[in-house]
Structure 1
Amino acid sequence: MQKNRNEIPAKYKWNLDDIYPNWDLWNKDLDSLKEMMNKIPAYKGTLANNSKTFIEFIELEEKISRLLDKIYLYPYLQRDLDSTNEEASVKLQEIESIYANYSISSSWITPEILTIPKETVVEWINTNPVLEPNRFPLMEIYRLQEHVLSADKEKLLSYFGQYLGVPSDIYSELSTSDIKWNEVELSDGTKLPITNASYSKIVATNRNQEDRKKAFEALYNSFNINKNTYASIYKSILQRDFASAQSRNYSSSLEKSLNPKDIPVEVYQSLIESTKENTAPLKRYIALRKKALGLKEYHYYDNSINIVDYNKEFSYEEAKESVLESVKPLGDSYYNGLNTALGEGWLDVYETSNKRSGAYSINIYDVHPYMLLNYNGTMDSVFTLAHELGHTMHSMLSTENQPYPISSYTIFVAEVASTFNERLLLDNMLKKTTDSKERIALIEQAISGIVGTYYIQTLFADYEYQAHQIVESGKAITPEILNNIMSNLFSEYFGDEMSMDELQKIIWARIPHFYNSPYYVYQYATSFASSANLYNRITSDKYTAEEREASKNAYLELLKSGGNDHPMNQLKKAGVDLSKKDAFLAVSTEFNRLLDLLEEEINKEKGE
């Protein structure tokens, strides 16, 4: 239920004054930003002259970047609180236009840096400590040298920057602005349009399978009716990605996506192979749910309903205390940091009119992280709070321990801290309750994370890989071809326990990540696997107390490391080597452990 924003106490709302107390100061900084951006072209042709000029330039670039973070996010966050905020929308478009023009006018920078011998830049860094924070990003420029074009070609490509995003924009309009939702009548007489939000609620809470089926067919038909258009949009994205990869001397879209973070293609392939080899617990879980829910046939729309009817509500204050208590195993420093993050002004807690849906944590290096929630008192909301606080603590520790140029961690490791926090919360809540219904709900909450974050995201990553390969081998893309990929994947992952609906195959049309950020979703799975490995090393009795303590310290060092190394190396230092398929086995091991617990609790609930 939405709250009136004016009636919500300040302690539950963002304090954006920490960024700017008013638009006047924002405008003043915008003028400063433009002034600094205008200085950049004057350095063209001078970077190789001497270290003094080079340092001046690097420092100016950092000032621009840090100021841009604040200037961009101030209207961005305001618009997320109220999508009808006209002033914020106008300001946001203004800064986006300024940045687009800056990208074009500064496209010469990387090619010019590459005209300086690498040995010279290394010497400048060694003899000028002020450059040390830039060592890693500067060396990355040289590592990726073969994929950087000449200055004129880089400038030419930069003109296409906004245009290359058009397919994603078209998808967004078709799937959001222009989509026609179908109305259904449920078994209780309720009539409503089935949107993404109402569908999610029905499949998660409505215990009548026929109602879930109606909602499923209504939602998926809204996408299926435009399947040819969605397939055409997706084909253009696949073709764009391959053209972009070839223009930068990559052999595939996947290689272009992974190489900037030095992630071997084999890691992506190993994730898919290992997951396919370990689908037994997923199939076991579906069979268990089918029996526990008393279903003759189990469908995809049955995945979200709880085995038990559990509707306990948790106040936000209760949620805060639960999450705080759960992180104590990570030490006083982590606990105190989390307590700070839960203070006033960092979280916008409740759903209000025109507020963005979902949840996220976003960091401003020179201010602090901001977390958006839409807290509604459900168990899922409690776990969402723990999840976002994991991101926030990762950002806080990175900011505290790394200079700006290497403070931002990659998406590849971003979900480690968030899912780790969820595991801490689960274990703490399980220890505190003897209620079988609550224990079943908690275990299912954890398992749904494994299914949704690891197995489903790997299945989606598998789909992307196959779709891109089709285009890269010069073959056609049609709705039927995309449907067949999905159909085969769901059969491989879920087996015969799940009945495949024809409309389920069109799921590729309603996953925004495929259209907005290709080759992104696999990182949910790699982060989840890494988190499972780390959690096991820190909490399992099979390790000595000294080993667990060392693993905890290594984990905290990972969170403090920001972006000071390639993510694979960062994880390896913490004890996880994703180049080995065995690294992914921790997920299926944990899955089976939770399934054993779930079966035990179900039997208790039945009195067996």
Structure 2
Amino acid sequence: MLLRKDIDQKYKWNLNDIYPSWTAWDADVKVMEGLMDKIIKYKGQIRNSSHKFIEMMELEEKLSRLSEKIYLYPYLMKDLNSKDEEASVKLQEIESIYTKYSISTAWITPEILEIPESTMNQWIAEYPELDPYKFQLKEIYRLQKHVLSEDKERLLSYFGQYMGAPSDIYSELSTSDIKWNEVEFSDGSKLPVTNGVYSKVISTNRNQEDRKKAFEALYNSYLVNKNTYGAIYRNLLQRDFASAQSRNYKTSLEKALEPKNIPQEVYMTLIESTRANTAPLKRYIELRKKALNLKDYYYYDNQINIVDYNREFTYDEAKEDVLESVTPLGKEYKEKMEKALSQGWLDVFETENKRSGAYSISIYDVHPYMLLNYNGTLDAVFTLAHELGHTMHSMLSVENQPYATSNYTIFVAEVASTFNERLLLDNMLKKTKDHNERIALIEQALGNIVGTYYIQTMFADYEYQAHKIIENGGAITPDVLDNIMGNLFKEYFGEEIAVDELQKLIWARIPHFYNSPYYVYQYATSFASSAALYDKITDEKYSTEEREKALEGYLTLLKSGGNDYPMEQLKKAGVDLTKKESFQFIGDEFNRLLDLLEAELNKK
């Protein structure tokens, strides 16, 4: 594993763009605390004075923008090194300050609701200063039945800092304290199997026994703490239901969806339509099992290419491929991506104690930061395209929206990322002269559908079932979670996939389950949305005018931030997720790609 000191600065985050030192950070913390004290003085004044209300709203925005920088500076430091003691202490200090502030400002939303809605509408129409907050304020009135009285809001705020405890404990257990098992592979090499190493082995090592060794090594690192992971997840489920009930929601799912006005029918339709369309997934597994000549097919066989294709992409090659692929989105889009790739916005390579996986996070007054654990595989190239999609979405939102509506919802977050992956795939298919690479790329497209649509829907199904057990008064144990996951693998993948006991433990190594419950379904809905948009923008069955209009609608979506309900934003761009056809399209596309793959294999 690489050491940070040996990596060129151009491949690392430049956190100086946020603060040049902890001294500068400390100075802003003092400014932030001063602003917090000022906010508190508006209590009792905003309901009868439009001017006081406007002052408070503007002061609250200033405070929010500053606190975003203050919080994310130690947060990002800690993601680079989970054992960074100073960053850990600073992060805890900030969380404590936020909790105290939350307690002292529990009056704000209840007092806003004391202002008649008609009066608020009059203020919005009369004062242009309130225009950026219009959508946010209207939402407060729409959701007022979930806002409690001031004393109850204050009581709940006392528990604010503890709500993130399951996520914090999970992060420490699976990053700082996890012990990776070393494995000797068939070529004589010995490696500790981290998440990054595991990902590379199962996607490049053609020896099934080696893949099995890597799988068992990784999952045994989680198995040793299985009961602890089970306890963390049980507490998270209990927390979610208690939080939902305390705010007059019937279920955790309702609490997750209602704030963004997402109908629960969308969630259930996704699961039901996917369960009804697993035939292509089962066909895919059957085809792969035969092509790979495997007696038994396991989940860890899902990443290896059918053909012997282990091309390693340097990071610079990956950058060029991704940049070239976004040409259809226009010169301006491409230039913005070049900026994102060249100015210390990415932390590229896996290092000791660095957080696993990949993400993009944006700071309104700075710029987005992208975390990667780049390992040179084809999958890693697509991960780069994916995270750059998020970054471009953030850049366009920040440039075109005021702070109050700059944050797009999670529901539309994966549209741009999966759209970028599709652009990359089609561009690489056009360029390649290598028959094996063509097969590998078709497999990549199929794998994207499996991983982004079917697997994430299966995970959404798992979350729904686990939450329902708690909501119905049932008990959660590691074995219960194993059984849910084992049954889901059979239902989605069929009998062609062999599910051993360790595979059922996948619930312990999916960070989204612990960091952001009811998140993963949005990968699937976004994938369906981006697939529909991609078709309208690129398919020549549409006229030039129709394609240009679709592109304009897509870019408008990316520029719109959070200025409307996500379902409405997608409808404006041309996608209606209330219709089952939006999901049926995925199965049809999957079968089309399977036909292509079979044809290529027959040629070979």
Contact 2:132–2:405, Cα closer than 8 Å, also in 1 = yes
Hey, what's the Cα distance between the residues in 1 that align with 2:463 and 2:354?
31
> In structure 2, what is the equivalent of residue 482 of structure 1?
481
Contact 2:176–2:353, Cα closer than 8 Å, also in 1 = no
Deviation at 1:382, TM superposition (A): 2.0
Hey, what's the Cα distance between the residues in 2 that align with 1:230 and 1:89?
22
- Rate the CA distance shift 1:424–1:460 in 2: closer, same or farther, 3 A: same
2:100 partner SS: helix
Hey, what's the Cα distance between the residues in 1 that align with 2:27 and 2:235?
41
Deviation at 1:63, TM superposition (A): 0.3
Bigger shift: residues 571-580 or 91-100: 91-100
Contact 2:200–2:375, Cα closer than 8 Å, also in 1 = no
> In structure 2, what is the equivalent of residue 284 of structure 1?
283
Contact 2:175–2:353, Cα closer than 8 Å, also in 1 = no
Hey, what's the Cα distance between the residues in 1 that align with 2:224 and 2:349?
35
Hey, what's the Cα distance between the residues in 2 that align with 1:17 and 1:41?
32
> In structure 1, what is the equivalent of residue 535 of structure 2?
536
State the Cα deviation string for residues 152-176 of structure 1 (Å, max 9, x = none). Answer: 0011011112223333444444444
Hey, what's the Cα distance between the residues in 2 that align with 1:111 and 1:404?
23
> In structure 2, what is the equivalent of residue 408 of structure 1?
407
1:365 has 2:364 as partner:
yes
- Structure 2, unaligned runs of 5 or more: none
Hey, what's the Cα distance between the residues in 2 that align with 1:317 and 1:199?
23
Bigger shift: residues 222-231 or 414-423: 222-231
Q: Superposed, which structure 2 residues align to 1:271-310 within 5 Å?
A: 271-310=270-309
Bigger shift: residues 347-356 or 498-507: 347-356
> In structure 2, what is the equivalent of residue 576 of structure 1?
575
> In structure 2, what is the equivalent of residue 564 of structure 1?
563
Hey, what's the Cα distance between the residues in 2 that align with 1:261 and 1:24?
38
Contact 1:324–1:338, Cα closer than 8 Å, also in 2 = yes
1:246 has 2:241 as partner:
no
> In structure 2, what is the equivalent of residue 504 of structure 1?
503
- Rate the CA distance shift 1:348–1:221 in 2: closer, same or farther, 3 A: closer
Hey, what's the Cα distance between the residues in 2 that align with 1:14 and 1:568?
34
Hey, what's the Cα distance between the residues in 1 that align with 2:263 and 2:449?
24
> In structure 2, what is the equivalent of residue 102 of structure 1?
101
Bigger shift: residues 123-132 or 542-551: 542-551
Deviation at 1:236, TM superposition (A): 2.6
- Rate the CA distance shift 1:85–1:178 in 2: closer, same or farther, 3 A: closer
Hey, what's the Cα distance between the residues in 1 that align with 2:87 and 2:25?
11
- Rate the CA distance shift 1:310–1:371 in 2: closer, same or farther, 3 A: same
- Rate the CA distance shift 1:93–1:315 in 2: closer, same or farther, 3 A: same
Hey, what's the Cα distance between the residues in 2 that align with 1:600 and 1:402?
47
1:206 has 2:193 as partner:
no
Q: Superposed, which structure 2 residues align to 1:579-594 within 5 Å?
A: 579-594=578-593
1:251 partner SS: coil
> In structure 1, what is the equivalent of residue 2 of structure 2?
2
| TM-score (structure 1 length as normaliser) | 0.94
State the Cα deviation string for residues 183-221 of structure 1 (Å, max 9, x = none). Answer: 555444555554444433332232222232233334434
Hey, what's the Cα distance between the residues in 2 that align with 1:358 and 1:290?
28
Bigger shift: residues 435-444 or 508-517: 508-517
State the Cα deviation string for residues 365-405 of structure 1 (Å, max 9, x = none). Answer: 11222222333333222222211111111011101111000
1:391 has 2:390 as partner:
yes
State the Cα deviation string for residues 420-467 of structure 1 (Å, max 9, x = none). Answer: 011111111110112011112222222222111111110011011112
Deviation at 1:314, TM superposition (A): 2.5
Contact 2:175–2:355, Cα closer than 8 Å, also in 1 = no
- Rate the CA distance shift 1:364–1:603 in 2: closer, same or farther, 3 A: same
> In structure 2, what is the equivalent of residue 68 of structure 1?
67
Deviation at 1:412, TM superposition (A): 0.8
- Rate the CA distance shift 1:510–1:146 in 2: closer, same or farther, 3 A: same
Q: Superposed, which structure 2 residues align to 1:23-172 within 5 Å?
A: 23-172=22-171
Q: Which runs of 4+ in 1 moved over 6 A?
A: none
2:417 partner SS: helix
Contact 1:79–1:88, Cα closer than 8 Å, also in 2 = yes
> In structure 2, what is the equivalent of residue 335 of structure 1?
334
Deviation at 1:223, TM superposition (A): 3.8
Contact 2:83–2:176, Cα closer than 8 Å, also in 1 = no
- Structure 1, unaligned runs of 5 or more: none
**Paired AA for residue 212 in structure 1:** R
Bigger shift: residues 253-262 or 204-213: 204-213
Deviation at 1:72, TM superposition (A): 2.0
Identity of matched residues, %: 73
Q: Superposed, which structure 2 residues align to 1:11-22 within 5 Å?
A: 11-22=10-21
Q: Superposed, which structure 2 residues align to 1:433-444 within 5 Å?
A: 433-444=432-443
Deviation at 1:31, TM superposition (A): 1.6
> In structure 2, what is the equivalent of residue 553 of structure 1?
552
State the Cα deviation string for residues 30-67 of structure 1 (Å, max 9, x = none). Answer: 22111111111111111112110000000000000011
1:598 has 2:597 as partner:
yes
**Paired AA for residue 547 in structure 1:** E
Hey, what's the Cα distance between the residues in 2 that align with 1:168 and 1:15?
26
